[in-house]
Amino acid sequence: MVRALFSIGTNSTRLLALGERDRRLAGESRGTRIGTGIGATGTIDPAARERTLAAIDEYVAIARDLRVSAVDAIATSALRRASDGESFAGDVTARLGVAPRILSGTEEASYSFLGATAARAGEREIGVLDVGGGSAELAVDVPSHARQAGAVRETLSLEVGAVRLAERHPALLGARALNSAERHTLNEEARADAAAILAPFGTMRRFEQLVVVGGTAFTAAAMVAGGVRDGITMTRKDTNRLIDGLLGRDLDARKAMPHIRPQRADILPAGLIVVDEACRLLGVDVFTVSEADLLLGYLTSSAFRAVPFGPNR
């Protein structure tokens, strides 16, 4: 059976399709940014709604070509906050035959952990940090225990992500290149803001290895390793070097850098600040980046609803 998961995140709308034995058939991502302005208005921006629905229409066509027989849909931080989320969910249902399941922060953290540790063995505690557009999640457990129990020992979701931090500090977005003094001041201000929200991470149970997932980390890994992303080891020194380099460039210059998708160039410094502040609070200097994340964790779990999908969709 070929099955597919549609995911509506604050910054990106994604598709993951798996075949027999969980063989990856498709992995797509579009920077639709449905979370635009929700913090200020509480509602979904009309243009963002149309971008997101256009991406879903594109993915429906891909699913047809792959002969997908079962689908599900999930949504995260933005739709948790939007007052008109139900109306948008109706538009998605009309296209897929299933309403997107709006995950809680705890669920998001748990499925990210299950996805990121799916191929990991051993009996040591692992922390999985998922930095998205609208929130940051941390889950800690021994992978074998989480798989056997069907639940993760400790999870926490906090309301800060790449899009939300950038909206709170617009100078991060790259309207112009910043000089050294400006970069230092902005960096300190944004870090203090992020740290105040992320502080509860410092009380989480200790672990032996940190795995980071999400578009920010995936992009950073490609920049550090020249295109290679999954399994790359990064340091806080790497993240700080990238932050400073990005803030020293305007948006057009960022978009011209290798391995940065144009739709992520404006919010990447903000996302990296969230990653780095989380690492600082956790006392971690080195982490591993994983391509396997929330989508894999959900799609291969018992939560996947396997709603029939046929050529008439």
Beta-bridge mates of residue 307: 71
Q: 16-20, 119-123, 267-271, 280-284: lowest mean pLDDT where?
A: 119-123
Level-2 CATH architecture, domain 120-291:
2-Layer Sandwich (3.30)
**Helix or strand run (H / E) with residue 209:** strand 209-213
> What's the confidence (pLDDT) of residue 229?
82
Going by the DSSP 8-state scheme, the letter that residue 272 receives in this structure is: H
- Per domain, the residue ranges of the chain are 3-103+302-308, 120-291
Q: Evaluate if residue 180 carries a pLDDT over 70.
A: yes
Does this chain's domain 3-103+302-308 share its CATH topology with 120-291?
yes
CA distance 57 to 53: 6
The residue behind tokens 């011209």 is: 256
Amino acid at 67: R
How many Cβ atoms are within 10 Å of 22's Cβ, its own excluded?
11
> What's the confidence (pLDDT) of residue 312?
59
Nearest CA among 114, 216, 108 for reference residue 161: 216
CA distances from residue 233 to 125, 221, 224, 230, 260 in whole angstroms, order as listed? 18, 8, 9, 9, 18
Give yes or no for a contact between 130 and 160, defined as CB atoms under 8 angstroms apart: no
Q: Evaluate if residue 204 carries a pLDDT over 70.
A: yes
Q: Evaluate if residue 147 carries a pLDDT over 90.
A: no
Going by pLDDT thresholds of 50, 70 and 90, the confidence category of residue 148 is confident
Q: 41-50, 226-235, 286-295: lowest mean pLDDT where?
A: 226-235
Beta pairing, strands 24-30 & 70-75: unpaired
Average pLDDT, the chain: 95
Going by pLDDT thresholds of 50, 70 and 90, the confidence category of residue 228 is confident
Mapping DSSP to helix (H, G, I), strand (E, B) and coil, where does residue 9 land?
A: coil
Q: Evaluate if residue 37 carries a pLDDT over 80.
A: yes
List, for residues 52-105, the tens digit of each pLDDT value.
Answer: 999 999 999 999 999 999 999 999 999 999 999 889 999 999 999 999 999 999
> What's the confidence (pLDDT) of residue 76?
93
pTM of the predicted model, to two decimals?
A: 0.96
CA distance 139 to 126: 8
Amino acid at 11: N
> What's the confidence (pLDDT) of residue 311?
59
The residue behind tokens 């290149």 is: 177
List, for residues 254-274, the tens digit of each pLDDT value.
Answer: 999 999 999 999 999 999 999
Q: Look at the domain 3-103+302-308 and name its fold.
A: Nucleotidyltransferase; domain 5 (3.30.420)
Average pLDDT over residues 156-172: 98
Average pLDDT over residues 129-136: 97
